[in-house]
Structure 1
């Protein structure tokens, strides 16, 4: 039987004017293609059978039988139904489909909307969402999924989120967990439920759990429930909120530490251990507001339970900072109050500041002026002490510069001065300090272009440009009228001393170009400082610094800087970061050297052993102590729709932490802070 193709609104209009009148309201024609088509003119219906295909806007429907009602723009479908749209694919045995409202009622359905798959006895498609009744969803595409989330009612918003109540998590055929309310954002990669089990010396056996709740993309959080064999049961909460009033994050955690009862804690650590942290930010075109509140039960709390956070910021502050932006200037207000008595901090109650950005102040001359003025009510709080230092301080810093070009030479001489008033110095007297400063910067720029036809490490290069910028700087700070030793040291403003020096920098930048891009291939900047008439040392070369960066291709980088003390003939500091990667492996190496303090190397390795197995590790070695500070080894197994991580962390060669984490493959992010990965330095490719 020959196939027939009907364009309703075209062919049907020839059969009946009433059908045409009804159909012409549709914005796009319904196209029906089938092996067998019958027209029921009086009923205004089309019956299509055998390999039916219906096209409507961006929807394609395949089935074995379709009865299309032209009057209502609806169709009854049955037999191997497949509905394909940008939102996903639906399979069903029977369905009613309203083309105008894009509303469908389906039976015995299967849905595919990446990354989720679902099945249900009945379902409804209502505009851009699906309602599954007595069904389940999963990220496993197998007919018998490894796991599923089952509920009587599930709402799926394709590519947005899933909402369900009274959800049971099945692993295979075994029910393992109950969720009274479940929401999963499909725009994020964080797993909705997270479990990690392990063991270490301080905690014993432990089980860490995170349950993510999701009210909306602007209001979401995590409920935390952690069990430590040796420390007890802990509960916590994090919640983030975004609206027109700004963004905020609340973090709470509470534990009654068993070590307290056993006498294993220092005397300053209480039985009830906790933290309360609140972060807030608001950014507008004219102003911004940033605030933090960090309160802890004791100074060791984060060190004991959130060590990764402690490493990044061992001493978090509590403050409120408001900035108001003006044309060419800004106003700011800082209020900083100590929240934890066991930290030493400077309080600003408050600090007002006005910044006038560098601006040209003369039409006839290239004169530029900038200034910074602030008034502060200062208190230096000592840790665990009632003693403190306090003073009112007014500080004004002004700088006048002249920018000129004499042929190939650019000159920027400058002169400036600081005036600072203190209501109290270390002798409890008010005092005024004046500081004069000045200097000049001279520079030029030279370049040469090289045409090439070569490749380096597989990266094609057709042209290179070498830019050389020699810079000679002279800086002078006159001895302050009041020595820093006579002032309380609240911040960097109070620590100003005599300085008289030259510095020479030879900045080299090599840019590479090919058919696809232009990038910085190499940056090399050595600099040398010569100090004049330094007290007790006379005039001398002081330091030699080198900044070296190489980016030959996207997968390879080297970033390093060195500080060499000429008089001592020794390196004071050195930092090196090196990385390279291929499809199957990534290697990142770093070294940090600080004379008389530390010489530490870090190594991070990733290797894909096979399609199912991956290995990662992190090593940190202290050469001055001759031992590892930390070792971490992680083996990952791909379990089809799950990822299993087996991890081992060795801290200071004695404290072992073992853990096991299961992640949903489609949502691999977890938030336990157990893993430590070396990220290296910036990669300005």
Structure 2
């Protein structure tokens, strides 16, 4: 047959196929997030080599139909493939349309294009094309590429049934579909029903590789897998993997698996009968084995289980040889879209066989502790609207030492866990809300606020005047409670505190800022503190019980007084100005900085507040509001900035603030010159930072408080931090932290903390990390001198292993 006749025959075939009901390919609406069998390969990743070709097994969908043919289906003549020397081009035929002119392009593979019942076009290119009239199939051999829109199938062989919207392919299959890729040796898929049989495959959906020996897609929402493996390693020789006898993937991301085995290399080490997980955040185990002087050998395990996009659970099972079993459950939630809410609730129980380490500790703990120890917690932040938010933090512990014994990280953050609920509304010029604060354990002291209502006004202009107003108002029921057994007695009171201030900002001589202010603070107390003394006559007796004399004993009694209103008017003025000079123009030689400028800002703040009608000693003391009294002082200070231009923005090389207070009416134990305070922040290089702050007591010539934090880092080599904190009569401690080669395959961390008052090393720890191709392995040692049983050193050794795809699991120092 001549080439024109061949082209006309192909066009007639396409017209008849286009008239066939439900002809063509239907596009699936499945999310591309689903790793289709063997998909999706990451961008830039070379497809792994295809497995060796197997003897093809034609799926049932490709067999000649056993049932009656569809009624009214028009007969279609077979299509003879065009000669390779003069291939036919694709004739694009919308349903019911006329064929376009046939053009024979050079060096093109034979191509046919069919329109589906929905008007979509399918292009089939191959070295050899034919039509099987009996089975109503377009058959393609050699370099096959079937394309529909942006989706395509490449294979050695394919059979396309445009009537049933089904394709069968085998041999070096590579499919691009919905933005993903799939590769294997044999597959069949029906785009109308979403069903298909994909056989063995390999898929990648960051960060997971998925392989299976068999796979069947039963619907657009459900895929069944056999002998499946999940890993974040390269699948040929994974260092760890999760393997299951069978699994299913639902809604593109929910995995359900049976008989799940956890492997290190080829060796299984853990088994669960069933697992449900989100493919985007696959359920993960955390294991921390180790040994401690106080705990003995231990194994801490955590199982992270996503429930949906919002909720996930963390299940804890901890075994400590000397202490016993600990179990816990956390429910964690977070708004995945806007971040309007996040929080967690948890419960932890430990059956502690040895709640004290020695006889001395037993004497301290015995009355408050037993073998059953627990912690209940709730933490939540919720943005109810753009202007309203609710913060909740509740903690109940069975005894004061549970956190220090089992959750040292939490204990270091907050020695006494807090319990509060706060609802806040933010207006344009004000904020209002209500808060609750109470203790849930009688062995802690606290100022309970049940409730505390507040209404605060931001500093704002008063109409069209030059004045500004600022205000704070609180109403509280305050209850000062002490730990059970303490000698102090509890007391309480209602308190209404309202403070108002008016400011008048002015500028003089073009540079001097002067801001006079006047205000009033009034506070109502439902009770006051009344002090009285009583002299008691005490009889003195001898050994026989005979009275031989008397003596007087003076006793101080505290009781509630009547309600009172305390008035505190206040006057003041604040002044400051800035002067600056350009020290240098051009490159400074420090990194890529340009120009150098110095700014100096002297400031002064005078405050006068007369002695109130109610003195602090006449009030029950709850917080700083109750300590307010006479004030007549002038705060003087100067701020200095040394600035440069770095990365096109102003950068402070140095910020320093030094200040003091002159007391014009000092108390008997005070001097006119008050304490000198200072604060400095130094950032000369991107790899160096230094912060210093403190207060110097001019009366006795010593520091009241002093702290400094320094950090030197080279991201490739090391990060070194130093932290020194001093508080007179409280603490004098130095801590250092060194991380070596933080991003390398081998990394190390050293930490030490020392009590300088006692010249004792409180803690030193060492952590070694090795990163393989896809796993992180950590080994740690922590030593706390004299903290173990019988006053011995307390040693803790722990081991961590985690997928590098989830670095957060390697951050904890464990037990």
Specify the TM-score bucket, using the shorter chain as the normaliser: 0.7 to 0.9
Deviation at 1:312, TM superposition (A): 0.3
Secondary structure (helix, strand or coil) at the match of 1:615 reads strand
C-alpha distance in 2 between matches for 1:62 and 1:546: 72
C-alpha distance in 1 between matches for 2:263 and 2:142: 39
Which deviates more from structure 2 when the two are superposed, residues 556-565 or residues 407-416? 556-565
Q: 1:330 to 1:137 in 2, by over 3 A?
A: same
- 1:173-572 to 2 correspondences below 5 Å: 173-185=266-278, 192-242=284-334, 247-259=342-354, 265=362, 266-267=365-366, 268-283=368-383, 284-363=385-464, 365-385=465-485, 387-406=489-508, 407-427=510-530, 428-430=560-562, 431-448=564-581, 452-454=585-587, 456=589, 459-514=591-646, 517-536=649-668, 540-572=672-704
After TM superposition, the score normalised by the length of structure 2 is: 0.75
C-alpha distance in 1 between matches for 2:433 and 2:258: 48
Which deviates more from structure 2 when the two are superposed, residues 511-520 or residues 273-282? 511-520
C-alpha distance in 1 between matches for 2:286 and 2:526: 55
Where does residue 9 of structure 1 map in the other structure?
A: 92
Deviation at 1:261, TM superposition (A): 10
Q: 1:159 to 1:501 in 2, by over 3 A?
A: farther
CA contact (8 A) 2:286 2:802 kept: yes
CA offset digits 1:117-139 (Å, max 9, x no partner): 12112225666886433311111
CA contact (8 A) 1:19 1:70 kept: no
C-alpha distance in 2 between matches for 1:50 and 1:280: 61
Where does residue 683 of structure 1 map in the other structure?
A: none
Secondary structure (helix, strand or coil) at the match of 1:107 reads coil
Secondary structure (helix, strand or coil) at the match of 1:485 reads helix
CA contact (8 A) 1:562 1:571 kept: yes
Where does residue 107 of structure 2 map in the other structure?
A: none
Alignment counterpart, residue 805 of structure 2, candidates 654, 657, 666 = 666
CA contact (8 A) 2:90 2:113 kept: no
For the pair 1:90 / 2:182, whether they are aligned, the reply is yes
C-alpha distance in 2 between matches for 1:396 and 1:517: 42
Deviation at 1:272, TM superposition (A): 1.0
Where does residue 638 of structure 1 map in the other structure?
A: 771
CA offset digits 1:176-200 (Å, max 9, x no partner): 2223443455656x97101111111
CA contact (8 A) 1:113 1:158 kept: no
Secondary structure (helix, strand or coil) at the match of 1:669 reads helix
CA offset digits 1:311-337 (Å, max 9, x no partner): 101112222212233342232112223
Q: 1:420 to 1:157 in 2, by over 3 A?
A: same
Q: 1:391 to 1:24 in 2, by over 3 A?
A: closer
Q: 1:505 to 1:610 in 2, by over 3 A?
A: closer
CA offset digits 1:123-173 (Å, max 9, x no partner): 256668864333111112141323321224434589966443442223333
Deviation at 1:225, TM superposition (A): 0.8
Deviation at 1:421, TM superposition (A): 1.5
CA contact (8 A) 2:568 2:609 kept: yes
Q: Compute the RMSD of aligned alpha carbons.
A: 3.5
Secondary structure (helix, strand or coil) at the match of 2:312 reads strand
Aligned residues: 670
Q: 1:192 to 1:7 in 2, by over 3 A?
A: farther
Where does residue 38 of structure 2 map in the other structure?
A: none
C-alpha distance in 1 between matches for 2:186 and 2:633: 86
For the pair 1:38 / 2:129, whether they are aligned, the reply is yes
Deviation at 1:449, TM superposition (A): 5.1
Secondary structure (helix, strand or coil) at the match of 1:493 reads helix
Q: 1:616 to 1:379 in 2, by over 3 A?
A: same
Q: 1:446 to 1:672 in 2, by over 3 A?
A: closer
Where does residue 69 of structure 2 map in the other structure?
A: none
Alignment counterpart, residue 614 of structure 1, candidates 740, 747, 757 = 747
Q: 1:187 to 1:633 in 2, by over 3 A?
A: farther
Q: 1:76 to 1:344 in 2, by over 3 A?
A: same
Where does residue 22 of structure 1 map in the other structure?
A: 116
CA contact (8 A) 2:721 2:737 kept: yes
Deviation at 1:217, TM superposition (A): 2.4
Secondary structure (helix, strand or coil) at the match of 2:403 reads helix
C-alpha distance in 2 between matches for 1:318 and 1:144: 50
Deviation at 1:527, TM superposition (A): 2.4
C-alpha distance in 2 between matches for 1:339 and 1:511: 50
Secondary structure (helix, strand or coil) at the match of 2:663 reads strand
CA contact (8 A) 1:16 1:41 kept: no
Q: 1:81 to 1:4 in 2, by over 3 A?
A: farther
For the pair 1:146 / 2:239, whether they are aligned, the reply is yes
Which deviates more from structure 2 when the two are superposed, residues 557-566 or residues 92-101? 92-101
CA contact (8 A) 1:136 1:154 kept: no
Q: 1:376 to 1:5 in 2, by over 3 A?
A: farther
Alignment counterpart, residue 260 of structure 2, candidates 141, 154, 167 = 167
Q: 1:138 to 1:299 in 2, by over 3 A?
A: same
Deviation at 1:415, TM superposition (A): 1.6
Return the structure number with greater strand share: 1
Which deviates more from structure 2 when the two are superposed, residues 293-302 or residues 510-519? 510-519
Q: 1:67 to 1:504 in 2, by over 3 A?
A: farther
Query: Where in structure 2 are there 5+ consecutive unaligned residues?
Result: 1-83, 102-111, 531-559, 787-792
Deviation at 1:466, TM superposition (A): 3.9
Deviation at 1:401, TM superposition (A): 1.2
Secondary structure (helix, strand or coil) at the match of 2:210 reads strand
Where does residue 585 of structure 1 map in the other structure?
A: 718
Secondary structure (helix, strand or coil) at the match of 2:492 reads strand
Deviation at 1:408, TM superposition (A): 1.3
Where does residue 656 of structure 1 map in the other structure?
A: 795
Deviation at 1:37, TM superposition (A): 3.8
Where does residue 679 of structure 1 map in the other structure?
A: none
For the pair 1:594 / 2:677, whether they are aligned, the reply is no
Which deviates more from structure 2 when the two are superposed, residues 441-450 or residues 525-534? 441-450
C-alpha distance in 2 between matches for 1:196 and 1:6: 65
CA offset digits 1:31-77 (Å, max 9, x no partner): 5555x142549788654443444555554544322334455554322
Q: 1:177 to 1:414 in 2, by over 3 A?
A: same
Which deviates more from structure 2 when the two are superposed, residues 448-457 or residues 475-484? 448-457
C-alpha distance in 1 between matches for 2:88 and 2:739: 56
